[in-house]
Amino acid sequence: MLTEGVSLIDSCSDRVVMEPNPTYWNPARRPTVRIVYDNVIGKAEGIKSVAAGDGRVDVVFDLTPDEAKGFPASDKGKIQTKFAKAILTGVFDERREDSPWRDPETRRALNLAIDRQRVLDKGAHGYGRVISAFIQPGRYGADPGMSPLPHDPAAARAVLEKAGLAGRELVFVASPTWKGVVEEIGRCLREIGLSVRYVSDRDGVPDTFDVKLEWYFDWTPQYPVACVHREFFGKDATLRQGPEDPGFDALYAKLLHATGEDVEDVTREVERYVQDKAKALFLYSPCTLFAVSDRIAFTAYDTCMSELAETRIKG
Amino acid sequence: MDAHATADPGGSRWGPHNTVTVVDPSPVNWLSITWNTMEEANRVDHDGIGQPSLAESWRWLDGETLELTMREAVYQDGETFDAAMFKLGFDKVQEWTNPHPPGAFLNFARDVTCEAVDDRTIRMRFPGGDSAALMKLRGMHLPSTRFWNEWGFIDPKTGSAEGHW
């Protein structure tokens, strides 16, 4: 139960305190610890605290790959990883009528130019997994017949040159968290005669760009299309950078009216559609990364949320 | 749990020995706190799989009718949770046009109905069907009467619960 502080969409108190409900019906999820969200100390200081074992902070959420890689050797804390239901993907800027990215063949060609494993390994220290599109293998709605688009720079170059993009500088907008990823994409594209300019999304999104990287996560009980695919491509998408897609909207309507096992079949159909149309620059599924004190047993959630019911103090 | 003397202000039984302090810089940490303190009919476990929560089970009676069996549970303020509390949560969320911060995709259509058949049974009717129903229920919080009377997701600055659920 919440005993101190508030956390709202637009504001939160310096700390939020939650104490266990000793009469909670589910013993397996009955917390045994008081949880304090410290909203003041900050991530960098929190990471230092975990590594030093000074007791001020036990878990820091949402580390960047660089922060995880840079975590000091410590017998007081460690980096914990989770292959949560998250994606890192590129949204094409299709807002202008003459945008080359309105052509699925051009979008597919840029996908073929990317060596995803190299981008993941060198741009994000390997914290993630290359996946086909938006759903991880083995998850609800994943199509076992799908595989990531191949790395085929020669084919990519041919199509992109035909589209008038030879020698172009492509503008990639991304959070500073993903600057290393953009730099590695740039190295891939240099091999086919293109260059990349990184623009931080902290500086405001420019009027025109080519690709904007978005991290997104699925918190749903096995209904990924509404949460993730819709957010990128649906009628009411907040991440879409182009016109509505009647093909996607029709599939989404079909999903909403499906029943029984058809729901998962249509989910797979949506996932295949997104890849067939090269609707995004598919990259990989990033790990969620935590700095965790050795004094606690921390259970991370695949939803990427900081749910803490099962987290315990060791001993 | 035994009481422990601590250096905490107020001298509560909670101290550093049984406190976990977290730093969560996520812009949606308000949602994590909601899910740590509220409960819904269903939830998603740490492996990302949907699980029963305040509803112990559910089944589709036909393409438009979902029947849920509520768990026997008691709120921390002593109030009994039952099907009427589920119905209350549904009625409250339906009072608003767009209550959920993530967006309208979580809304139940206006023609969806909810009936408490008995203390433990809820029957929801979705004209035309809605395969997203269980996802939407994950976002429909089921607090006690005291919460509804004292807070009710109303933003004190605006007096509205739109986008504030």
One domain, residues A6 and A36: yes
Give the burial string for B94-126 (b: 16+ CB within 10 Å, else e).
bebeebbbbbebbbbeeebebebeeebebebeb
pLDDT at A174 over 70: yes
Closest partner residue to A310 among B22, B24, B46, by Cβ? B46
Residue of B nearest to A258 (CA): B131
Cα–Cα distance for residue pair B89/B73, rounded to 1 Å: 16
One domain, residues A148 and A15: no
Query: Is A23 strand, coil or helix?
Result: coil
pLDDT at B11 over 90: no
One domain, residues A248 and A307: no
Cα–Cα distance for residue pair B86/B118, rounded to 1 Å: 12
Closest partner residue to B135 among A221, A260, A299, by Cβ? A221
Say what the pLDDT of residue A75 is: 97
- Residue A227 is part of a domain; what is its CATH number? 3.10.105.10
Q: What are phi and psi of B26, to 5 degrees?
A: -60, 140
Contact B19, A33 (CB under 8 A): yes
Cα diameter, chain B: 59
The pairing of strands A195-200 and A169-174 is parallel
pLDDT at B4 over 60: no
Q: Do the Cβ atoms of A36 and B135 come within 8 Å? A: no
One domain, residues A78 and A112: no
Asked if B109 reaches chain A (Cβ–Cβ under 8 Å), the answer is no
One domain, residues A39 and A133: no
- Residue A18 is part of a domain; what is its CATH number? 3.40.190.10
Say what the pLDDT of residue B9 is: 45
One domain, residues A232 and A138: yes
One domain, residues A9 and A78: yes
Closest partner residue to A43 among B20, B23, B35, by Cβ? B23
Asked if B149 reaches chain A (Cβ–Cβ under 8 Å), the answer is no
Averaged pLDDT for residues B51-59: 97
Averaged pLDDT for residues A287-293: 98
Say what the pLDDT of residue A259 is: 95
pLDDT at A4 over 80: no
Confidence band of A8 (pLDDT split at 50, 70, 90): low
Asked if A292 reaches chain B (Cβ–Cβ under 8 Å), the answer is no
- Domain count across chain A: 2
Averaged pLDDT for residues A168-186: 98
Asked if B9 reaches chain A (Cβ–Cβ under 8 Å), the answer is no
Say what the pLDDT of residue B6 is: 35
Tokens of residue B132, six digits? 């997203």
Cα–Cα distance for residue pair B129/A66, rounded to 1 Å: 46
pTM score, two decimals? 0.93
pLDDT at B7 over 90: no
One domain, residues A74 and A124: no
Q: How far is B34 from chain A (nearest CA, A)?
A: 9
One domain, residues A139 and A190: yes
One domain, residues A132 and A248: yes
Give the burial string for A249-263 (b: 16+ CB within 10 Å, else e).
eebbeebbebeeeeb
Please state the ipTM of this predicted complex: 0.92
Residue of A nearest to B46 (CA): A301
Alpha carbons within 13 angstroms on the beta-carbon side of residue B52 total 13
Tokens of residue B17, six digits? 């020995």
Convert the pLDDT of each residue in A216-268 to its tens digit: 999 999 999 999 999 999 999 999 999 999 999 999 999 999 999 999 999 99
One domain, residues A214 and A75: no
DSSP state at residue B160: B
Averaged pLDDT for residues B7-32: 78
Q: Do the Cβ atoms of B46 and A307 come within 8 Å? A: yes
Type and span of the H or E element at A155: helix A153-162
Query: Residue A202 sits in which domain range?
Result: 86-286
One domain, residues A179 and A267: yes
Weakest-pLDDT range from A63-67, A121-125, A147-151, B157-161: B157-161
Cβ within 8 Å of residue B98, ≥6 positions away? B104, B107, B162, B163
Asked if A23 reaches chain B (Cβ–Cβ under 8 Å), the answer is yes
In A238-277, the residues whose Cβ lies within 8 Å of chain B are 238, 255-260, 263
Cα–Cα distance for residue pair B17/A306, rounded to 1 Å: 21
Q: How far is B20 from chain A (nearest CA, A)?
A: 5
Closest partner residue to A55 among B16, B76, B138, by Cβ? B16
Convert the pLDDT of each residue in A126-140 to its tens digit: 999 999 999 999 999
